[in-house]
Structure formats: C-alpha cells, structure tokens
Amino acid sequence: MMKRMSHTFLAALVLAMLAAAPVQAASCVVQYKAKHGDPLKLEFASAELPAKACQSKEAAARALQPILAERGWTLLRIVSILGAGNEAPSN
C-alpha cells in the first residue's frame, strides 16, 4: 500500500512539474541586409531570433542590431521573417 502511494505521489509530482514548466516559445529566422567597414562589404544573411523578436520587422531589427554591432556590422534592413507563423516573406 505504501509503495503504491509513493508511486502515485511521484507521478503526480512529475505531472505538476511538467505543467508548471514554461513552454518554450518558437523562434523565427529573419533574413537581413547589413554593411561593414571600409572597404564597404554588403551582406545578405539570416539569423535565428527568439519569438518575442518575430512579431514585426521593427522588433526583429531591435533584437538583431546589437548582435550585428558586436561583429562590426550595421543592419540596413530586415528583408523577411520566416517561422513563428510568418511562413511567407514579409516586405
């Protein structure tokens, strides 16, 4: 009887922990254009961003600008947002 109660308690505890765990938000991939230095280099590339940056091009730009700046690049524009419900390129 005690063994059965401990298994039931353990199962309930695991279920409660799973229910309380935050659901990981989906991310997206943004395609962007950036420039770098002298001589001028232009880049068309993509980067994965967290879901909170996937809501608009402005949000994606706010998230991506500091990442690119650390590498010496300047963001020119977000071309498209793919994933997280944005499967078609957004102009």
Q: Note whether 40 and 74 are within 8 A (CB).
A: no
Position 49 scores a pLDDT of 96
In this structure, is residue 55 part of a structural domain?
Answer: yes
Number of domains comprising the chain:
1
Placement of tokens 């659901």 in the chain: 23
59-77 burial, b if ≥16 CB within 10 A, otherwise e? bbbebbeeebeeeebebee
- Domain ranges, residue 30: 25-91
Inside any domain, residue 6: no
Per-residue pLDDT of the chain (91 residues; tens, 9 = 90+): 545 444 444 444 344 444 443 444 579 999 999 999 989 999 999 999 999 999 999 999 999 999 999 999 999 999 999 986 655 444 5
pLDDT (0 to 100) of residue 69:
96
